[in-house]
Amino acid sequence: MRRFIPRAIHYPTTSTLASRANSRLSLISKHLHPAPIQELNTPFSTERTSVSDDDIEIEPSPPPPPQPEIKTRSIETQTEAEEEISEEPSAVMSSQPEHPALLIPGPIEFDDAVLQSMSHFSESHVGGPFVQCFGEVLTMLRKVFQTTDTASQPFVISGSGTLGWDQVASNLVEPGDEVLVLHTGYFADSFADCFDTYGVKATQLKAPIGDRPQLDAVEKALQEKSYKMITVTHVDTSTGVLSEIEALSELVHRVSPDTLVVIDAVCSVGSEEIQFDAWGLDVVLTASQKGIGCPAGLSILMASGRAMDRFKNRKTKPTSYFGSWKNWLPIMQNYEAKKPSYFATPSPQLVRALHTSLTQILSTPLNDRFAAHRAASQKVKKAVADLGLKQLATKPENQANGMTAIYLPEGITPPEVLPNLLKKGVIFAGGLHKEIATKYIRFGHMGVSVTDPKRDDIDRAIKSLKEGLVEVGYKA
C-alpha cells in the first residue's frame, strides 16, 4: 500500500504579494491615472448620454454645502503609489490566499464555501445531480425575492446583469413602444441606450446628481403619456442613490395600471428589502456578483405573471435570440420541475456557487440580513461625516445600505487616495458619473463583509480611509 505523503504548502512572500498588487494596479491604471475623462461609455469615468430629446429634466435643489478647505497636503506620485504593500500584519479574513479586501460596489468578497463550490468537478448540465441543484436554485430565488405566486417566473442565464436589460427590452416591449426610465445616475442612461438598440422609445425623467425623481413628477409624466413600462434603478452604483420602490409601484398601479413596473436591482438584491408580491412588481433583475455574493457571470431575473402574459401576447417575435424567453421559459420551467432540458449550456460551477450562496442567505431571516446591512451602512456614513466628508446622496432617505459614494475633500482626487488604500489592503472604487468622476470614491459594504462576524473588513476600511486621507494632507 502506498504511503500518503502530504505536500508542503508554500505561502506567498511579501514581495510576491506586492508584485500581485502592482499587477492589479496596472490593470486599473486607466482608473487611477489622472488623465482627461474619456469619451462615451468608458468605465469608471463616464456615463452614457441621453438618447432622447424628450427627456424630462427636474429642477435641481440648492447645492450642498462647500467641502472643507485643505490646509496642507502632500501629493504622492503614481510611481510612489505602486510601491510595495505595507508589511504590517493584516487580520486573517478566511482560508483564501491573502489579498486586499474588495470593497467596491461589486464584485464583492466571497465566502469560502461559495468559492469552494466553484471548484466542483465537471458534470453534465443535463445530468440528474445538476438538474436537482438548478431546480433548487430557482425555488430559492422565489424566497429571496419574496414571491409565493406560482405565476411568477425566475430566470437564471449565463451573462452579466446587463443581460437583464436585454431580456426586458427584447421580451416585454416591442419596437415603437414607449417606456419611462427614472434617472438616478449612469445606469439609467445605459438602460435607455439598451431600449434604443431594440427600437423602443425611452424617455428619461432625470433628477439632480445625488437625488431621485420625486413621486409627483413621476405621476405628472405618467398622466401626460401612455407608457408600456416604467424602469427604476433600485440602487444606482454610480451615485449610491436608493430609490423608493414600494410607493413608486403603488403610484404606477393607481395612475397607469397597464404600465409594467421594472426594477434594476443589480446593486440591491441581498442588501436592500424587496417584496416582489406585496409591492406589485413585474420584473426585478439582478446579477450574481453583488449582494448575492456569488462570482460574476449569472443574470438573475424574476418576472410576474402579468409580465409573462405580456410576453406571451406580444404581436412580434422577441428581438433577441439568446435572450428570448421563447427559448428560455421551457428550460427554466423544466429545471424547476427537476427535468433535464437544453437550449444553451449553463455554467454548472456558477450555478453550484449560487446554490451555496442562496442557501447561506436563506439560513437566517431576510429581515436580519437587511438589518445587518443597515447597521453597517450607518457605521460607514457616520465615519464619513466624522471625517468632515459629504455623500453624493445628501438626503438620508436616498442613501443606499450596500454602498456609499463619498465626495473627496476639495483638491484631492481618486488617483491620490485609491493607491494608498490598496497598500493598506483595501480596494475602493473611483467615480463613475462623468460630471463628477474626479471628485468622489465609492465604498461597497455588502455580503460577507457585513454578515460574517469574523471579518473586520468594514472597520479596517474606515481606518484605512482616514489614514489614507491624512497621508495626502487632509485634516478633518
Triad 114, 118, 121: Cα angle to 5°: 135
Is 375 a residue whose pLDDT tops 60?
A: yes
Triad 88, 89, 91: Cα angle to 5°: 135
Triad 149, 153, 156: Cα angle to 5°: 140
The reported pLDDT for the residue numbered 93 is: 52
Kindly state the DSSP code that residue 391 receives in the 8-state scheme. B
Q: Which range (46-55, 71-80, 307-316, 425-434) has the least confidence?
A: 71-80
Separation CA 88–CA 95 (nearest Å): 19
The reported pLDDT for the residue numbered 55 is: 67
Three cell numbers written together for 237? 452604483
Residue at 212: amino acid letter: R
Kindly state the DSSP code that residue 443 receives in the 8-state scheme. E
C-beta of residue 187 within 8 angstroms of C-beta of residue 238: yes
The model's pLDDT over 67-125, given as tens digits with 9 standing for 90+, comes to 444 333 333 333 333 334 334 444 455 789 999 999 999 999 999 999 999 999 999 99
Residues 6+ apart with CB under 8 A from 62: none
Kindly state the DSSP code that residue 85 receives in the 8-state scheme. P
Exposed (0-12), middle (13-18) or buried (19+): which is 5, by Cβ within 10 Å?
exposed
Kindly state the DSSP code that residue 84 receives in the 8-state scheme. P
> What is the share, in percent, of the chain residues with pLDDT greater than 70?
80
- The full length of the chain comes to 476
The reported pLDDT for the residue numbered 53 is: 55
Give the mean model confidence (pLDDT) for residues 218-247: 98
Calculate helix-pair angle for 414-423, 14-27, nearest 10 degrees: 150
Is 43 a residue whose pLDDT tops 90?
A: no
Triad 54, 59, 60: Cα angle to 5°: 130
DSSP letters for 404-438:
EEEEPPTT--HHHHHHHHHHTTEE-EE---TTTGG
Calculate helix-pair angle for 245-255, 215-224, nearest 10 degrees: 30
Is 191 a residue whose pLDDT tops 90?
A: yes
Residue bearing the bigger pLDDT, 106 or 1:
106
**What value does the mean pLDDT of the chain take?**
87
Provide the 3-class DSSP secondary structure of residue 52. Answer: coil
Residues 6+ apart with CB under 8 A from 268: 234, 235, 242, 274, 286, 291, 400, 402
Three cell numbers written together for 400? 443606499
C-beta of residue 90 within 8 angstroms of C-beta of residue 457: no
**Domains along the chain with CATH numbers:** 101-109+365-472 (3.90.1150.10), 112-362 (3.40.640.10)
